[in-house]
Amino acid sequence: MLPRSFRLTAKSQETPDTFTLVFEDPEHGEVRFRPGQFMMIYVFGVGEVPISIAGNPHKTHDLILTVRGVGAVTNAICALDPGMVVGARGPYGSGWPLAAAKGRDLIIVTGGIGIAPLRPAIIETLSRRDDFRDLSLIYGARTPTDLLYKDDLLGWESSADIDVEVTVDRASSEWWGDVGLVTRLLPRVRFNPPNTAAFVCGPEVMMRVVARDLTARGVPTQNVYLSLERNMKCAVGFCGHCQFGRDFLCRTGPIRSFHDLAERMRVDEI
Amino acid sequence: MSLQSLQETAPLLTAMSIDGIEFLESVATEIQFPKGALIFDEDQTAGAFYLIANGKIGLEVSMLAREAHLIETLGPGELLGVSWLFPPYRWSWRARAMVATDVVAFDAEKTRRQCDKDPDFALHIYRTVAEEAVQRLHATRIRVLDLFPGSES
Ligand SMILES: Cc1cc2nc3c(=O)[nH]c(=O)nc-3n(C[C@H](O)[C@H](O)[C@H](O)COP(=O)(O)OP(=O)(O)OC[C@H]3O[C@@H](n4cnc5c(N)ncnc54)[C@H](O)[C@@H]3O)c2cc1C
Ligand code: FES
Output the residue whose Cα is nearest ligand 1's atom 5.
Answer: A51
Q: Over range A12-36, report the average pLDDT.
A: 92
Options 3.40.50.80, 3.40.50.2300, 1.10.510.10, 3.50.50.60; CATH for A98-265 is 3.40.50.80
Q: Over range B68-84, report the average pLDDT.
A: 91
Inter-chain residue contact A112 with B72, CB threshold 8 Å: no
Question: What is the rounded average pLDDT for all residues in chain B?
Answer: 90
Distances B107 to B26, B47, B48, B110, B112 between C-alpha atoms, Å: 9, 6, 5, 6, 9
The DSSP string of A173-232 is TT--SEES-GGGGGGGS---GGGEEEEEES-HHHHHHHHHHHHHTT--GGGEEEE-----
Check residue B36 and give left, alpha or beta (phi > 0: left; psi -120 to 50: alpha).
left
A231 CA distance to ligand 1 centroid (A)? 7
Q: How far is A263 from chain B (nearest CA, A)?
A: 21
CA–CA gap between residue A197 and residue A102 (Å, rounded)? 9
Torsion of CA A153, A155, A159, A163, to 10 degrees: 0
> Quick one: which atom of ligand 1 is closest to the CA of A47?
25
Nearest to B37 by CA among B103, B108, B90, B136: B103
Written as one letter, the residue type at A98 is L
Q: For the segment A157-211, what is each residue's pLDDT rounded down to a tens digit?
A: 999 999 999 999 988 877 889 999 999 999 999 999 999 999 999 998 899 999 9
* pLDDT for res A12: 97
Q: Name A186's Cβ contacts closer than 8 Å, sequence gap at least 6.
A: A107, A109, A138, A213, A214, A217
Question: SS3 string of B7-41?
Answer: CCCCCCCCCCCHHHHHHHHHCEEEEEECCCCEEEC
Q: Over range A144-167, report the average pLDDT.
A: 96
Inter-chain residue contact B77 with A112, CB threshold 8 Å: no
Domains present along chain B, CATH in parentheses: 3-147 (2.60.120.10)
Q: Does A169 touch chain B (CB under 8 A)?
A: yes
Q: Which residues of A touch B71 (CB under 8 A)?
A: 179
From the list A145, A167, A181, the residue facing B151 with the nearest CB is A145
Nearest to A108 by CA among A229, A255, A262: A255
Output the residue whose Cα is nearest ligand 1's atom 19.
Answer: A70
Output the residue whose Cα is nearest ligand 1's atom 42.
Answer: A229
Question: What is the rounded average pLDDT for all residues in chain A?
Answer: 92
Residue A270: pLDDT over 60: no
Pairing outcome for strands A105-111 and A196-201: parallel
Instruction: Give percent of chain B with pLDDT exceeding 90.
Output: 68
Instruction: Give percent of chain B with pLDDT exceeding 70.
Output: 95
Residue B153: pLDDT over 50: no
Q: Over range B107-118, report the average pLDDT.
A: 97
Q: Over range A69-82, report the average pLDDT.
A: 96
Residue A22: pLDDT over 50: yes
Inter-chain residue contact A181 with B143, CB threshold 8 Å: yes
Q: For the segment A34-57, what is each residue's pLDDT rounded down to a tens digit?
A: 999 999 999 999 999 999 999 999
Q: Over range A238-250, report the average pLDDT.
A: 83
Q: How far is A249 from chain B (nearest CA, A)?
A: 22
A77 CA distance to ligand 1 centroid (A)? 12
- What is the ipTM score, two decimals? 0.84
Q: Does A167 touch chain B (CB under 8 A)?
A: yes
The DSSP string of A127-154 is HTGGG-SSEEEEEEESSGGG-S-HHHHH
DSSP state at residue B127: H
From the list B98, B147, B152, the residue facing A176 with the nearest CB is B98
Q: Does A15 touch chain B (CB under 8 A)?
A: yes
Please work out whether the CB of residue A79 comes within 6 Å of at least one atom of ligand 1.
no
CATH code for residues A4-92 = 2.40.30.10
Residue ranges per domain, chain A?
4-92, 98-265
For Cα atoms B7, A176, B85, give the angle at the middle one, nearest 5 degrees. Answer: 45
Please work out whether the CB of residue A120 comes within 6 Å of at least one atom of ligand 1.
no
Strand-pair partners of A178: A167
Same fold, A4-92 and A98-265: no
* pLDDT for res A142: 92
Residue A67: pLDDT over 60: yes
* pLDDT for res A75: 97
* pLDDT for res B68: 78
Q: Per-residue b/e over B62-77, b at no fewer than 16 CB within 10 Å? A: eeeeeebbbbbbbbbb
